[in-house]
């Protein structure tokens, strides 16, 4: 008889590093592995049409994000690609994922971003300074406004960086190739030591509208 449901989803950092300790919160810069939060990629020429049909808020431009209520952050990566990040823990993501079959719907196709990409969240006033040691894009608050999206390279690794204010403080969502998640994790932990950065637990990432 088949052994049912023995497998458990694990975060990419946890999978490769073992159990993660969460020492607490930092005033200067904090790093959290939020890879277990649901997310979904949508791709194909029908992407924007599909989003509209399913009442998903569409960002006005490429490389721009928008909060879909408190439930979800929607980032538009190109005219034919979007990334939906669960920030509210609601059922919206589940419903949307179920409505996009693997073979596509009107030129929109699902992408398993839950598995292709790891997801970290960084916050704190020194987060832009930390990124300045890894990434050539200027992420200071006045230069990288709320809901900006950068598809760029950090520590020689392709990443997607999305800014979102959480409780009025700038935060950065960082998405990277899941196989390289631990590599980038180590780079960030090393780079943030200078600022007294700490690893935080995945607390509620609900962002400001």
Partner 1 sequence: MSGTRLPAPAGARLDRTRPLRFTFEGESYRGFTGDTIASALAANGVRVLSRSFKYRRPRGLYSAGSHEACALVQLPDEPNVPADRRLLADGMTITGQNYAGSLARDRGAWIARFEKFMPVGFYYRTFFRPRGIWRVWERVIRKRAGLGRVNPKTPHGYHDKAYAFADVAVIGAGPAGMAAALAAAEAGAEVTLIDENPEIGGALTYGRFDADGRAADEALKRLAKEVREHAAITVLTDAVCTGLYEDNWLAIDQGRRLVKLRARDIVVATGLQDGIMVFADNDLPGIVAATTVQRLIWHHGVLPGEVAVVATQDEWGYTAALDLAEAGAEVSAILDTRDKPSDSALAKLAEERGIEVLSGWMPERAEGETEIERISAVPVDEAARETEEPRNIECDLLCVSARPTPAAALFAQGGAKLPFDPARGVHLPTDLPPGLHAAGAVNGETDLKRVIADGERVGKAAIAGETKPARKTAKKTAKKTATTLPPQPMLEHPEGKSFVDLDEDLTIGDIRDTVALGYQDVQLLKRFSTLGMGTSQGRHANPPGVTVAAEARGDEIGQVGLTTARPPLAPVAFGTLAGRQFSPVRRTSIHRWHVEASAQMMVAGAWLRPAYYGPPDEAESRIQEEAVAVRRSLGLIDVSTLGKLELRGREAGAFLDRLYTFSYQKLAVGKSRYALMTDETGAIIDDGVVCRLGEEHFYVTATTGGVDEVYRTMLWWNAQWRLDVDITNVTAGYAAMNLAGPASRESLAKLCDDVDLGAEAFPYLGVREGHVAGVPARILRTGFVGELGYEIHAPTGFGLDLWQAFMRAGEDAGIRPFGVEAQRLLRLEKGHIIVGQDTDGLTHPYEAGMDWAVSKKKPFFVGGRSIDIMRARGLTRRLVGYQIENRDAPLPKECHLVIRNGEIAGRVTSSAVSPTLGHAIGLAYVPPELDAKDGKFEIRVEGARMVEATVVPLPFYDPENARQEL
Partner 2 sequence: MKIMDCPLNGPRNISEFACRGEVRTMPDPDTASDAQWADYLFMQTNPAGVAREWWIHLPSSYWFIAERDTRTGEILKTYPPDELFKRPNRPMSSK
Residues near partner 1 (CB under 8 A):
1-12, 15-18, 41, 43-45, 80, 102-104, 107, 109, 111-117, 132-136, 138, 140, 143, 155-157, 177-180, 182-184, 187, 190-191
Query: Cα dist. 76→33, 49, 204 in Å?
Result: 22, 13, 23
**Residue that the structure tokens 């990277």 belong to:** 176
Among 14, 62, 105, 202, binds partner 2 (CB under 8 A): 62
Q: Which is nearer to partner 1, 24 or 99 (CB)?
A: 99
The rounded distance, in Å, linking the Cα atoms of 173 and 58 is: 18
Stretch that binds partner 2, among 24-32, 35-43, 156-164, 179-187 (CB under 8 A): 156-164
Q: Does 78 bind partner 2 (CB under 8 A)?
A: yes
Q: Which of partner 1, partner 2, none does 3 bind, CB closer than 5 to 8 A by kind?
A: partner 1
Residue 158 in contact with partner 2, rule: CB under 8 A = yes
Say which entry of partner 1, partner 2, none residue 21 contacts (CB below 5 to 8 A, set by partner kind).
Answer: none
Residue pair 73/207 in contact by the 8 Å Cβ criterion? yes
- Residue 139 near partner 2 by CB under 8 A: no
Contact by Cβ (8 Å): 116, 68? no
Q: How far apart are CA 23 and CA 34, in angstroms?
A: 15
Closest alpha carbon to 76 in 43, 32, 122:
43
Q: How far apart are CA 184 and CA 41, in angstroms?
A: 21
What is the distance between the alpha carbons of residues 178 and 204, in angstroms, rounded to a whole number?
22
Inter-residue contact 114 to 40 (CB < 8 Å):
yes
The residue within the footprint of partner 2, chosen from 29, 40, 85, 150 (CB under 8 A), is 150
Q: Which stretch binds partner 2 (CB under 8 A): 37-45, 108-116, 117-125, 150-158?
A: 150-158
Query: 3-class SS at 18?
Result: coil
165 in contact with partner 2 (CB under 8 A): no
Over the Cα atoms of the chain, what is R_g?
17
Residue 57: contacted member of partner 1, partner 2, none (CB under 5 to 8 Å, by partner type): none
Cα 164–79–100 angle (5° rounding)? Answer: 85
Task: Pick between residue 190 and residue 208 the one whose CB is nearest to partner 1.
Answer: 190
**Which of the choices partner 1, partner 2, none does residue 63 contact, using the CB cut-off of 5 to 8 A by kind?**
partner 2
**Under the rule (CB under 8 A), what is the footprint of partner 2?**
62-63, 77-78, 136-137, 150-153, 158-160
């Amino acid at each position: 008889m088949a052994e049912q449901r023995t497998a458990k989803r694990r975060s990419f950092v946890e999978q490769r590093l073992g159990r993660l300790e969460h020492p607490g919160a930092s005033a200067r810069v904090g790093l959290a592995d939020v890879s277990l939060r649901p997310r979904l990629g949508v791709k194909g020429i029908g992407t924007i049409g599909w989003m509209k049909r399913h009442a998903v808020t569409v960002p006005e431009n490429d490389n721009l994000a928008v909060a879909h209520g408190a439930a979800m952050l929607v980032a538009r990566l190109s005219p034919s690609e979007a990334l939906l990040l669960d920030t509210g823990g609601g059922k919206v993501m589940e419903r949307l994922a179920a409505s996009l079959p693997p073979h596509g719907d009107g030129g929109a196709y699902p992408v398993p971003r839950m598995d292709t990409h790891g997801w970290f969240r960084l916050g704190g006033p020194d987060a832009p300074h930390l990124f300045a040691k890894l990434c050539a894009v200027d992420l200071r608050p006045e230069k990288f406004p709320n809901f900006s999206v950068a598809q760029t390279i950090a520590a020689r690794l392709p990443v997607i960086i999305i800014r979102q204010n959480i409780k009025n403080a700038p935060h950065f969502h960082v998405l990277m190739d899941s196989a390289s998640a631990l590599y980038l994790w180590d780079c960030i932990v090393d780079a943030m030591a200078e600022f007294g950065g700490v690893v935080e637990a995945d607390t509620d990432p609900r962002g400001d509208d």
